[in-house]
Amino acid sequence: MKKSSADALTLARPILESKKYRALNLPPETVVDLIQLALEHGLKPDQAVDEARKKLHNIVAPYLGDPDYAKEQDHLEHIGTFSNQDEIRSFSLRMLESHASTHERIPLLNEFYKTIFDITGKPGTILDLACAMHPFSYPWMGLPAGCLYQAYDLHQPRVDLINQYFKAAGINGQAFYGDILLNPPPHQADAAFFFKEAHRFDQRRHGCNRPFFEALNVRWLVVSLPASNLTGRFDLADRQRKLVSDTLAGLNWPVTEVLVGTELIFCIRKNNG
């Protein structure tokens, strides 16, 4: 740990224990990292805390929506396992609707995965990075039986609900809690999904996507970014293409770009995978 870690942890405590975040049980190292970064940029402790709060709001993105985690968790515990595919799909849809990133994909679910897998082939192992509610799309992915699905997020109630869902739906999946930027997943996989998050990673720490992508032990890295903003009024496509090309500069990793709805998808073939 860096010399200022203990001080940064003291500064991080009020944020972690605030009404806004305490139920999420965020990894303390995430907030410590944000504060340390701000201190390294020369901000005074009070300013560093303000800066960390701003960045954390963008990382957790509460404005994108949430289900009632306790209620849904109780529901899954009560039913134990889903009794048929219709039940799985109707629960999954409710979860997808609860978060803007997955909500806007609902009309395009079948097309979305077909388009990706036509390029990458159907993976037998998947990492879903910064997943939010995306694992609830599993029933529409058309994956081979037994496909191993490993999802990652730093939001504890989300991770717990996803684990309960995998169990109830009989999916060979596991959700992991932690900060993937600070601790990239070590697991090997055919494909990693990194959807609608690379621009936020870059806002958190400029340039961080490059070492993050390099650390992943996967054959295909499928990165998506919004081609327009949440209101649909601003065209972001060129900005997103630049983020991806800057991140991959000098790497010999072929990229196939496709657009599904308003989501720009970059299928990146990692040559070291």
Ligand X SMILES: C[S@@+](CC[C@H](N)C(=O)[O-])C[C@H]1O[C@@H](n2cnc3c(N)ncnc32)[C@H](O)[C@@H]1O
Q: Which is nearer to ligand X, 171 or 180 (CB)?
A: 180
Q: Which is nearer to ligand X, 22 or 44 (CB)?
A: 22
Strands 173-177 and 148-153: parallel
Q: Which is nearer to ligand X, 106 or 119 (CB)?
A: 106
Contacts of 80 (CB under 8 A, 6+ apart): 168
Q: Decide: 122 and 143 in contact? Cβ < 8 Å.
A: yes
Work out how close the CB of 204 gets to ligand X at its nearest, in angstroms, rounded to a whole number: 7
Cα–Cα distance measured from residue 79 to residue 165, given in angstroms and rounded to the nearest whole number: 11
Work out how close the CB of 240 gets to ligand X at its nearest, in angstroms, rounded to a whole number: 14
Work out how close the CB of 212 gets to ligand X at its nearest, in angstroms, rounded to a whole number: 9
3-state helix, strand, coil in the chain (%, to 5): 50, 20, 30
Strands 125-129 and 188-195: parallel
Work out how close the CB of 83 gets to ligand X at its nearest, in angstroms, rounded to a whole number: 27
Q: Which of 213, 218, 214 is nearest to 124 (CA)?
A: 218
Work out how close the CB of 165 gets to ligand X at its nearest, in angstroms, rounded to a whole number: 15
Strands 148-153 and 125-129: parallel
Q: Which is nearer to ligand X, 196 or 219 (CB)?
A: 196
Cα–Cα distance measured from residue 273 to residue 263, given in angstroms and rounded to the nearest whole number: 25
Work out how close the CB of 18 gets to ligand X at its nearest, in angstroms, rounded to a whole number: 16
Q: Which residues bind ligand X (CB under 6 A)?
A: 59-61, 64, 101-102, 130-132, 134, 152-155, 158, 179-181, 195-197
Work out how close the CB of 64 gets to ligand X at its nearest, in angstroms, rounded to a whole number: 6
Joined together, the tokens standing for residue 139 give 């029933």
Q: Which is nearer to ligand X, 192 or 248 (CB)?
A: 192
How many other CB atoms sit within 10 Å of the CB of residue 214?
13
Long-range contact set of residues 178-183: C-beta below 8 Å, sequence gap at least 24: 178/27, 178/152, 178/154, 179/27, 179/29, 179/30, 179/33, 179/154, 180/129, 180/130, 180/152, 180/154, 180/212, 181/33, 181/205, 181/208, 181/212, 182/27, 182/29, 182/30, 182/33
- Chain centroid to CA 116: 17
Q: Which is nearer to ligand X, 45 or 208 (CB)?
A: 208
Q: Which is nearer to ligand X, 102 or 164 (CB)?
A: 102
Work out how close the CB of 79 gets to ligand X at its nearest, in angstroms, rounded to a whole number: 24
Q: Which is nearer to ligand X, 45 or 228 (CB)?
A: 228
